Amino acid sequence: MTAWDDVRAAIDAKDPGRVMALVTKLDDAGRREVADALPGRLRELRAKAEWNVLERGFVEPLLLAGAGTIGGAAAAANWLCRRELEMWAWRRRHTGFDRDLAKVTAARPAEWRADVGRRIADRIRVADDRRESLWRMAATLTLSAGAEAPASDGFVVGWTVLADPSGLADDPFLDALVPRLFDADGVGGALADDEARLRWDRDRKSTWAEALAGLAAAGRLDRAALIDGCVSRFLRGGSPHDLRFFVRLHDRLDPAGDEAAARVRDHVRLLPSAPSTVADLALRQVRRADDLGRLDAGLFAEAADALAFRPEKKLVRTALAWLDRTARKRDRADATVRAITAVFVAEALDLRERAVKIAVKHAGRVDDATRETVRDAAAGLPADLRAAIAAAYGEVDGGAEPAPVPSGPPPFVPRALPAPIASLTELAEVFAAQRYTMFRWVETERFLAGLVEFAFADPSGTREALRPLADSLRGADGVLHPATDARRFWADHAVRALVEPAPGLITKVRDQLRHAARTGGPPLQRFLIRRKHELPALVGRVPALLAAPTEGSGHIAPMALVERIERYEAAGADPGRADFVQALLRLPRDEDTDAAVRAKRLTSKAGRTLALALAGPGGLPDPTVECGLVDEPLRTGTGRPLNLPPVGMVTVTSTRDVPSDLADLWEHTAKFTSRQNPGGTESWPALLPSHREVAAAHVLPHQIDEYEYASGQGATALALAAADGPAGAATATVLAYALGHKDARERADAVEAFLALSARGGLPAAETGTAVGALTRIDRLKPNRAVRSLSEAADAGAHADVWRVIAAALPALLPEPGTRAPSGLPDLVALGTRTAELVRARDAVPGLAEAAARGGSSRLVAEAARLHRVLTGP
C-alpha cells in the first residue's frame, strides 16, 4: 500500500483529521507522490459529482492534503486558491480550518509558509467574494511563519474588513498595516461603512476610526503619522465615498492648533478641488492655523481665492464669515476684499448680497488698486448692489444693466422627415430592420407609404422582394385580432396581405373592423386601429397612402395631398375611409391657395371633399377644450394624502357638426386617474397636428403616472409643441407635468417643448403656471424638479415666459400662515427674481407681499422679500 492509497481513502471518507495525521507523517517521496496524484483525484471527484460541482465535504481534506504535500510555493498557493476548492466563510469558522492549516504546514520551512502566504495575499482582489477565505489563509500562513505582513493592497483591505477594531491593540498586523491604510487602493471604499457597520454587525464593538484614535491617544500608534496619512490620502484625491473614512478618522484625531499649523500648506492646497467634505475639513484646519497666526500672506491669498471659487454655497458662506471676521484683526483687508469680488458673479443671490456687504464694510481699509478691482467686478451686479458698491468705492463703470444673454428662446427648428423609400431593396431592408428595432412611428409611416406605392406600381417585384423576409410572419388570426394593440404589427399586417393573400382576408378585416371600433380604449387608439385594419385592403389597390405625412410635425403639404388624389382619380381607385380622414386631419391650418385652385379640378367624391376643406380657412372647426384638476388632494382620516382617482377631468365639446368619423375625437369626456397607460402617446399629436389642444386633451389622461414611470411624457409634450393650433389648459398641464417629471430625460424633452412653444409664441404660460400650482397642491408634482427645468429654459433665453409661468404658479404655492411650504419653493421664488429682474417685470403677485412681510429668518421669506423688492422697484 502506498502513501497515496491511505490519503486517498481518507479524502474519500471526507475525514480531514485523518488526512492531516497521514500527511504530516509522510517523507519527501510520499509527499511528492500525494502531491502528484491530487489534481487527478480532484478531476475524478468532480466528474463523479452532480452538476460537476465538488461535494463540500471533499474540500477540506483536499485543501489540507495539498497544503501538507505540494512542494513548490507557487503550486501550493495555486492549489489553495482553486475556485472549486473554495470554502464558505461560516464553514471555515465552524470547522476551525485555519487552525488545521497551520498544523498541517507546521513542518514545512518558514520561508515556504511565508512565500505561500504572500502569493495567496497577492490574489486577493478588493471586490471579491473569496476575499475572506483567501485573507484568512494568507494571514494564518504568514503568522505561523513569523513573516512580515504581505504587501498586497488586497491583504490590507481584507484586514480592514475582517480584523476586529476593538482588539486592534493586540493585532499582530497592526504596526505593519496601519501605514498601508493610507496608500492601499480600496481601503477607503471598504471602510466607508465603518460607522454604519457598528449598527448592523453585532460582532463589532468599535469603529476603526475610534480604535485607531484611541491607540494614538494611548501612545501605541504614532499620532503624527496617522494625521499625515489622512492628509496625504486627501491629497491623492478620490470620491467623497472613498475619503469618508479618512475624514472621520481625521475628525476623531482632532488635530490641535500646532498640528494643524504644521500641515497648513497641504490644507490650503486641498481647498480648490477636494470633495466638499474634505474641503470643509481643510478649511477648519486652515482657520485653526490662522487663529495661531501661522497662515502667511501668500497662503492666505491662495486660500481665500480658492474658497471664493468653490461651487458649494455652504462652503462659500462659511468662508465669507471667516474672511469678514478676520480681515481687520489680521490686517489683510486688501487680500480679503480682492478675493470676495469673485463671489460677485455667484449664482446665488444671497451670496452676492453678502459679498457686497463685506466689501462695503471694509472699504475704508483698502488701497487704491483694490478699490479699482472692486469697481471693475461690480459692473455686472444688479442695480441696488451696484449702488451700494458705488457709495463706498466710487462710481462704477458700465452702469447699464447687461442685456440678458441670450435675449430670447432659440428659434424653433421643425424636424425633417427622412426621405421616402426610393427602391425595393431599401423597402426590404427597412422591413427587416423594423423587426429588429423598437417601434417608431415615423419609420412605420415611412415604410407603409413605400409599401403602398411599390405594391401598386410593381406588385410582383414587391412581392418577390418581401417574400424572403415574410417567412416568419404570424398566423392570420393573430395578425387581425382586434385586441392587438395599436402600436404593433402594422408592417406585418400589410406585407402579409400582399405576399400571401388568404381567401376572404379582406372580408374578415371588415368584420374585425366593426368589432375593433366597438372595443374600448382611448379614442385615438381606436382611430389608429381602424387605420391599421383598413390597410391590408389598400395594399396593391391604391396608388399611394393618402395619410403619409410630409412634415416632421405630422402635417401633409396640401399640394402633395391634391397630387395623391389626382393619382387616385387617374387609377380609378377609391380611398380608404380612415386613410382619407387621417389625411384631412393632417392638413395644415394655413391656407394654400395654389393647392385650393388645383383641388377645384378634382372630380371624385374624395376630391370634392378635399377641395371643400382647402377652400376656406381653418378646415375643421376647433372644439372647446376644458381641463380641470382636482384642487385638493383626497385624504385619509389621519390626513395622509391619497393617490386616488380622479386627478382631473378633461372635456372636448364640438362647436359645429363634424364628420361622423371624428365624432369620437371631437366629443370626448374623460376623468383621468393615474392608471391609464396605453403604452406611449408620443405619436398621438402627429395624428392631430393642426389641433394641438384636442390632441393634448386626448393625451392628458395617460400622462400622469402614479409611480412616475417615464413613458414618453416629455416626448409627447415635444410633439405637441411641434404641432399647430391653439394651446390651452390641456397642453399646459401636459407640459407642466413633464417639466416636473422624475426622469431627467423626460424633463429635458419638456424643456425643449417649453422653448419650442415659447419661440413660436404659443406657450400657454399662465395656464402652465396654474397647472404647476395645482399639480403641486395635489401632490403630483415636485416643485424642486420643475425649478430645475424652468431655470434651464430661462438660461436658454425664455426668461419672459419663465417669469410668466412662475408669476402664475406662486399664488397657489405660497403657503398660508402656519402651513409648510412645498420643497423647492424658495428656489422657485429665486428663479422668479432672476427672471423678473431680466425682463424688468412689475407684475402684482397675489400673496407675495404677505409672504414677504411675514418676518423670521426662513429662506422663503428672504427670497419672497427680494422678489417683492424687484417687482415694486422703480
Partner 1 sequence: MDGGLLGLSTSGGTTGSGPRAHPHFFSGVLTQAAPAAAALIGLADVAQTRYHQPRPTGFRDPVVTCNGDRLRLESFSACGGVYARLDVLEAAMDGEVHERGTTNVDVNGPLREALARVGGSDPLHLAVGEEELAVTTLDGAVVEKKVPLPDRWLRGFAEVQVITAGFDPRAELTGHDAVRFLRSLRGRNHMWAVPAGRTLRLAPRPAPGAVCLAGADRLRTMLPLLRFARALRAYGPSVTTGSGPTASVWELELPGMRYVLTLSPERSRGFSGEGAVLDALATDEAAGDADLVGALLAFEPRVEPDLLAERSGLPLDRTKAALVQLGTSGRVGFDTAEAAFFHRELPYDPSRVAALNPRLRSAQALVEDGSVRFTGDGVAVVTTDGGERHVRFDGDGDAASCTCPWWYDHRGERGPCKHVLAARIVRRGASAEAVR
Chain residues binding partner 1 by CB under 8 A are 126-127, 183, 185-186, 189, 232, 235-237, 265-266, 268-270, 272-273, 298-299, 302, 305-306, 309, 311, 345, 347, 405-407, 410, 413, 415-416, 418, 425, 429, 432-433, 436-437, 552, 714, 718, 744-745, 748-749, 751-752, 792, 795-797
Q: Which three cell numbers stand for residue 390?
A: 458705488
- Cα dihedral sign, 270-271-273-278: positive
Integer Rg of the chain from CA:
38
Report how far residue 97's alpha carbon sits from residue 242's, in angstroms, rounded to the nearest whole number.
33
- Number of H-type helices and E-type strands within the chain: 47, 3
Q: Which is nearer to partner 1, 423 or 823 (CB)?
A: 423
Report how far residue 255's alpha carbon sits from residue 262's, in angstroms, rounded to the nearest whole number.
10
Work out how close the CB of 780 gets to partner 1 at its nearest, in angstroms, rounded to a whole number: 23
Q: Which is nearer to partner 1, 238 or 588 (CB)?
A: 238
SS3 of residue 652 by DSSP: strand
Q: Which is nearer to partner 1, 172 or 406 (CB)?
A: 406
Residues forming beta bridges with residue 650, ordered by sequence position: 627, 670
Q: Which is nearer to partner 1, 443 or 706 (CB)?
A: 443
Assign residue 843 a region (left: φ > 0; alpha: ψ between -120 and 50; beta: otherwise).
beta
The CB density around residue 107, as the number of other CB atoms within 10 Å, is: 12
- Spell out a b/e string for 561-576, using b for 16 or more CB atoms within 10 Å of the CB, else e: bbebbbebbeeebebb
Assign residue 335 a region (left: φ > 0; alpha: ψ between -120 and 50; beta: otherwise).
alpha
Q: Which is nearer to partner 1, 331 or 347 (CB)?
A: 347
Of 781, 778, 798, the residue nearest 790 (C-alpha): 798
Compute CA distances 328 → 234, 314, 813, 816, whole Å. 32, 23, 44, 44
Residue written as grid cell 400673496 = 847
Q: Which three cell numbers stand for residue 741?
A: 417629471
Residue 120: phi and psi, rounded to 5, are -65, -40
Work out how close the CB of 162 gets to partner 1 at its nearest, in angstroms, rounded to a whole number: 19
Work out how close the CB of 150 gets to partner 1 at its nearest, in angstroms, rounded to a whole number: 18
Do the Cβ atoms of 591 and 617 come closer than 8 Å?
Answer: yes
Q: How far is C-alpha 599 from the geometric centre of its chain's CA atoms?
A: 51
- Cα dihedral sign, 540-544-545-551: positive
The CB density around residue 288, as the number of other CB atoms within 10 Å, is: 20
Work out how close the CB of 291 gets to partner 1 at its nearest, in angstroms, rounded to a whole number: 21
SS3 of residue 728 by DSSP: coil
Contacts of 859 (CB under 8 A, 6+ apart): 826
The amino acid sitting at 53 is: V
- Cα dihedral sign, 861-862-863-869: positive
Work out how close the CB of 2 gets to partner 1 at its nearest, in angstroms, rounded to a whole number: 46
Work out how close the CB of 552 gets to partner 1 at its nearest, in angstroms, rounded to a whole number: 8
Report how far residue 714's alpha carbon sits from residue 680's, in angstroms, rounded to the nearest whole number.
11
Q: Which is nearer to partner 1, 622 or 752 (CB)?
A: 752
The amino acid sitting at 358 is: I
Work out how close the CB of 274 gets to partner 1 at its nearest, in angstroms, rounded to a whole number: 9
Report how far residue 536's alpha carbon sits from residue 491's, in angstroms, rounded to the nearest whole number.
10
Work out how close the CB of 23 gets to partner 1 at its nearest, in angstroms, rounded to a whole number: 38
Q: Which is nearer to partner 1, 453 or 792 (CB)?
A: 792
Q: Which is nearer to partner 1, 236 or 317 (CB)?
A: 236
Provide the H-helix boundaries in 458-499: 459-466, 476-480, 490-499
Work out how close the CB of 619 gets to partner 1 at its nearest, in angstroms, rounded to a whole number: 27
Q: Which is nearer to partner 1, 272 or 873 (CB)?
A: 272
Contacts of 285 (CB under 8 A, 6+ apart): 255, 260, 263, 264, 267
Work out how close the CB of 126 gets to partner 1 at its nearest, in angstroms, rounded to a whole number: 6
Work out how close the CB of 789 gets to partner 1 at its nearest, in angstroms, rounded to a whole number: 12
Work out how close the CB of 618 gets to partner 1 at its nearest, in angstroms, rounded to a whole number: 29
Contacts of 646 (CB under 8 A, 6+ apart): 630, 671, 672, 673
Q: Which is nearer to partner 1, 86 or 128 (CB)?
A: 128
Q: Which is nearer to partner 1, 13 or 433 (CB)?
A: 433
Residues forming beta bridges with residue 672, ordered by sequence position: 648
Q: Which is nearer to partner 1, 239 or 507 (CB)?
A: 239
Work out how close the CB of 404 gets to partner 1 at its nearest, in angstroms, rounded to a whole number: 8
Do the Cβ atoms of 783 and 772 come closer than 8 Å?
Answer: yes
What single DSSP character describes residue 410? P
Of 740, 868, 738, 753, the residue nearest 814 (C-alpha): 868
Work out how close the CB of 16 gets to partner 1 at its nearest, in angstroms, rounded to a whole number: 36
Work out how close the CB of 737 gets to partner 1 at its nearest, in angstroms, rounded to a whole number: 17
Q: Which is nearer to partner 1, 407 or 653 (CB)?
A: 407
DSSP H/E element including 70: none
* DSSP code string of 696-737: HHHHGGGT--TT---SSHHHHHHHHHHS-S---HHHHHHHHH
Q: Which is nearer to partner 1, 177 or 814 (CB)?
A: 177
Work out how close the CB of 416 gets to partner 1 at its nearest, in angstroms, rounded to a whole number: 6
Compute CA distances 221 → 234, 243, 325, 576, 832, whole Å. 20, 21, 38, 89, 56
Work out how close the CB of 306 gets to partner 1 at its nearest, in angstroms, rounded to a whole number: 7
The CB density around residue 840, as the number of other CB atoms within 10 Å, is: 10
Q: Which is nearer to partner 1, 237 or 398 (CB)?
A: 237
Work out how close the CB of 795 gets to partner 1 at its nearest, in angstroms, rounded to a whole number: 7
Q: Which is nearer to partner 1, 219 or 311 (CB)?
A: 311
**How would you class 397 by CB atoms within 10 Å of its CB: exposed for 0-12, middle for 13-18, buried for 19 or more?**
exposed
Q: Which is nearer to partner 1, 46 or 236 (CB)?
A: 236
Q: Which three cell numbers stand for residue 479?
A: 395578425
Q: Which is nearer to partner 1, 127 or 225 (CB)?
A: 127
